[in-house]
Amino acid sequence: MALNKGAKAPDFILPSTSGKPFHLSKDFKGKACIIYFYPKDFTKGCTAEACEFRDQFEAFRELDIPIVGISRDTIATHQKFKKEHRLPFELLSDARGDVCQDYDALIPILRIPKRITYLLNEQHRIWAVFQDMFDAKSHIRKMAEKVKENQG
The active-site residue, picked from 33, 46, 51, 100, is 46
DSSP 8: B
Residue 46 a catalytic site member: yes
Please report which residue ranges of the chain form alpha helices under DSSP H.
24-27, 44-62, 75-84, 98-102, 136-151
Helix (H) or strand (E) holding 9: none
Cα distances (angstroms) measured from residue 88 to each of 6, 18, 51, 106, 117: 28, 11, 10, 25, 17
CA 135 from chain centre, in angstroms, equals 15
Which of the residues are catalytic? Answer: 46
